[in-house]
Amino acid sequence: MTSVRPEHEYDPLTDPLPPGGHASPWFRSDNLAPGASPPVQEPVSQPLGDPLRNPLTEPQEWYDPGPAGPRQDWYPAPEQTAGPLPAAEPGIPISAPISVAVPEAAPFDNETVALRALDEATTAPPVTGGRAERRRAAKGRGRTAPAPGPAERPRTRAEARRAAKARKDSAAVIASRVIGEAFITLGVVMLLFVTYQLWWTNVRAHQEAGSAAKKIAQDWADGRKPGAFAPGQGFAIMHIPKLDIVAPIAQGTSKAKVLDKGMIGHYDESGLKTAMPSDKTGNFAVAAHRNTHGEPFRYINQLKPGDKVVVETQDAYYTYEITSALPQTPPSNVSVLKPVPTGSGFTGPGRYLTLTTCTPEFTSTYRLIVWGKMVDDRPRSKGKPDALVG
């Protein structure tokens, strides 16, 4: 409801206090004559409204018990004491004050009450624990707790066993997993093996062949006169200018002692004994790897008639000229190592050269044969032959 107040209400900052020193409570006067003191009446200024309303910041409703009719004026009255009331202060006008209608404040609605309750419920309580508790509480602020799901019925023992069995992998899944891991492991092993064969064996063979060539040159410089060469002992160096090959020659064709070390092996085994370059007649036959382990004979298939091969020893240079080749023959065909090789085109005794290696590449199924004949025998004192100088 809307109450009516006088235009001039008491202002404690500008108006003097009424007798008694108080400006409240307020009293109603009916037809009070000008200059007359207001009668002593019971205060009726009882505020109504929501008890949660803050009286310092929100307007209150004032209850007017008078009947509807003429406007009622409200005046400040002194504090009630025993005895008659003093006269009203002349500075307070009481005649015909102008009333101002005070709008009634809107009552609280349900939404406002709900928001306040929510704010109070979500306000974090003060943390009174130690530093660790305060840190955990600070981390937890602003997080929304997950909504609790529907309560699940406890499983029976049979249901638990069935669920555990369902989580286990089947025999087919386990077998496929084992097979897959085996294939992966096999692939890794094969990759490592190929890397070893195609790259690392060449690296090691080149190092060992280089060391063998240096030792041969050092023996020659020291003037050593070897007698019979031991298996695996280097005694000469082969030059193939067209293929840019310089490789040491060792006695025998052992894979471990000679061929796998990147050297060229001289056939000197029992049943396959061939001549030395210094012999007056015979077939100087040698072998070497075509792939891996230094692969000194990898490109001898590119040699053509007229190309030169020089064998350097401690005393002389022996130059051979390529004459023919046999692209493929079984490993059992040892007739190509005879003093007069079968299939070489040579018809009589002479000083011949036979180069043998595996073919096709990266296999040892057959043998590739290249033949040549000696065209120059020059002592070291006369210098290098034209094939090496050019």
Position 129 scores a pLDDT of: 58
Residue 135 or residue 273, greater confidence: 273
Position 12 scores a pLDDT of: 54
Mean pLDDT of 147-163: 75
Mean pLDDT of 109-121: 61
CA–CA separation, 141 and 147 (whole Å): 17
Per DSSP, 35 falls in state T
> One of 266, 289, 290, 293 is an active-site residue; which one?
289
The chain-wide mean pLDDT, for the chain, equals 76
81 contacts: CB under 8 Å, gap ≥ 6: 20
Highest-scoring range by mean pLDDT, 107-111, 121-125, 293-297: 293-297
Position 44 scores a pLDDT of: 45
Do 369 and 325 contact (CB within 8 A), yes or no? Answer: yes
CA–CA separation, 203 and 357 (whole Å): 20
Of 33-47, 67-81, 272-286, minimum mean pLDDT range: 67-81
Q: Which of 307, 228, 232 is nearest to 262 (CA)?
A: 232
- 141 noted as active-site residue: no
| Whole-Å CA distances, 61 to 9, 30, 55, 104, 110 | 16, 21, 10, 7, 20
Distance of alpha carbon 257 from the chain centroid:
47
pLDDT band at 141 (very low <50, low <70, confident <90, very high): low
Q: What is the pLDDT of residues 5-61, one digit of tens each?
A: 444 454 555 555 555 454 444 444 444 455 655 555 444 444 444 445 454 454 444
Residue 69 or residue 326, greater confidence: 326
For the chain, domains (ranges, CATH) are 1-119 (no CATH), 208-389 (2.40.260.10)
CA–CA separation, 109 and 37 (whole Å): 44
Q: What is the pLDDT of residues 190-205, one digit of tens each?
A: 888 888 878 888 899 9
Position 270 scores a pLDDT of: 79
How far the first Cα of the chain sits from its last, in Å, is 128
347: left (phi over 0), alpha (psi -120 to 50) or beta: alpha
> One of 5, 28, 290, 358 is an active-site residue; which one?
358
- 358 noted as active-site residue: yes
Do 262 and 296 contact (CB within 8 A), yes or no? Answer: yes
Per DSSP, 315 falls in state S
Q: Please list the alpha-helical segments (H only) found in 141-249.
A: 157-167, 171-195, 201-222
Cis ω for the linkage preceding 78 (within 30 of 0)? no
pLDDT for 88 beyond 50: no
pLDDT for 74 beyond 50: no
CA–CA separation, 239 and 310 (whole Å): 5
Position 36 scores a pLDDT of: 56
Of 16-20, 43-47, 124-128, 327-331, minimum mean pLDDT range: 43-47
Length of the chain: 390
Mean pLDDT of 144-149: 59
Position 211 scores a pLDDT of: 93
Beta strands 316-329 and 308-312 are antiparallel
pLDDT band at 120 (very low <50, low <70, confident <90, very high): low
pLDDT band at 131 (very low <50, low <70, confident <90, very high): confident
Mean pLDDT of 133-140: 72
CA–CA separation, 337 and 357 (whole Å): 13
Position 122 scores a pLDDT of: 56
Dihedral, CA of residue 262, residue 268, residue 273 and residue 279, to nearest 10: 90
Beta strands 234-240 and 245-251 are antiparallel
- 290 noted as active-site residue: no
Residue 162 or residue 139, greater confidence: 162
Q: Which of 301, 296, 318 is nearest to 384 (CA)?
A: 318
Residue 331 or residue 120, greater confidence: 331
Q: Please list the alpha-helical segments (H only) found in 200-309.
A: 201-222
Position 77 scores a pLDDT of: 46
Do 58 and 106 contact (CB within 8 A), yes or no? Answer: no
Q: Burial level of 44, CB count in 10 A (0-12/13-18/19+)?
A: middle
The percent of residues above 90 in pLDDT, for the chain, comes to: 45
Residue 168 or residue 89, greater confidence: 168
